[in-house]
Amino acid sequence: MPRFIPVVAGLGGFLLSTALMAAPLTADELIAHSVEARGGAAALAAIKTLQRSGRLVLPGANVEIKVRELKTRAGEYRSDLTLQGLTQIQAYDGRQAWTVQPFQGRKDPSLMSADEAKGLELSADIDLPFVDYRTKGHTVEYLGLEEIDGTPAHKLRVRLKWGDEAIFWIDPDTWMVIRELDRQTIRGADELSQTDYGEYERVAGVYFPMTEEQGPKDADAAHRQKVVYEKAEANLTAAPSEFAFPKSQSAGAKVQP
């Protein structure tokens, strides 16, 4: 596929574009740069669990929502949102996903659909799906440069093994992911969600984003929520009960409507 080189005003932008045209990247080279910048393959592989905690900021809402996210190298995932003593849960044990939605009047756990479970499987990937993508069963494609908020960024498409797609934009100076666009098919309809990443901090030798701003594709600030992680910890012990569907609910469990 031809590489797209944006027209950037100024000599600095011209030199950047010229250098990139002179030495085009492959998808594997781009991934290698990103992995190395984050801390290296060995340091990344050494992280078996990652827990981040902080707060969720909703546009126009004067509330304090506590956030806790936990993921494991084994592909397990859990996200808790707590407000006024109630906790919303989304969890994935590597096979099935479940949720508790008290803010919608559902205080008992219910199974999520197979389509929704795929989204949690994607979130569970500590490395990001393009790292070691062949082993994971995904495919990647380098799409060249594209401007993100006036800055050229490398664009990488990941076709996920279950049929969905994730596109990542990687900063050419820091090699960190600055934006992700996910296309997920749920009940036969495509849903597009965009996440902007920032404020990277080193955790156990590896850089992870500490802010994530998310919403529908091309949504303005009034329709985007922001998670600000204030603490990140690696390699804590994660009990299987964090992710497993509660045993008391297993018999006759139904998928949420």
- Output b/e per residue, 157-193; b: 16+ Cβ within 10 A: bbbbeeebbbbbbbbbeebbbbbbbbbbeeeeeeeee
In this prediction, residue 19 carries a pLDDT of 46
Specify if 1 maps to a domain. Answer: no
Residue with tokens 């908020």: 149
Confidence check: pLDDT of 15 > 60: no
CATH number for the domain harbouring residue 115: 2.50.20.10
- pTM as predicted: 0.85
217: containing domain:
39-250
pLDDT average, residue stretch 204-211: 98
Model confidence over 78-117: pLDDT tens digits? 999 999 999 999 999 999 999 999 998 889 999 999 999 9
Q: Cα dist. 97→75, 118, 140, 189 in Å?
A: 12, 9, 26, 20
Specify if 191 maps to a domain. Answer: yes
Specify if 255 maps to a domain. Answer: no
Specify if 74 maps to a domain. Answer: yes
Based on the number of CB atoms within 10 Å of its own CB, is 120 exposed (0-12), middle (13-18) or buried (19 or more)?
A: buried
Confidence check: pLDDT of 68 > 90: yes
CB atoms within 10 A of CB 237: 6
Confidence check: pLDDT of 6 > 80: no
Residue 257: band (very low, low, confident or very high) from pLDDT cuts 50, 70, 90:
low
Residue 205: band (very low, low, confident or very high) from pLDDT cuts 50, 70, 90:
very high
Report how far residue 28's alpha carbon sits from residue 44's, in angstroms, rounded to the nearest whole number.
17
Model confidence over 217-235: pLDDT tens digits? 877 767 789 999 999 999 9
Specify if 181 maps to a domain. Answer: yes
Specify if 13 maps to a domain. Answer: no
**Number of separate domains in the chain:** 1
Specify if 199 maps to a domain. Answer: yes
Specify if 58 maps to a domain. Answer: yes
In this prediction, residue 23 carries a pLDDT of 62
In this prediction, residue 188 carries a pLDDT of 82
pLDDT average, residue stretch 160-165: 95
Model confidence over 19-47: pLDDT tens digits? 444 467 899 999 999 999 999 999 999 99
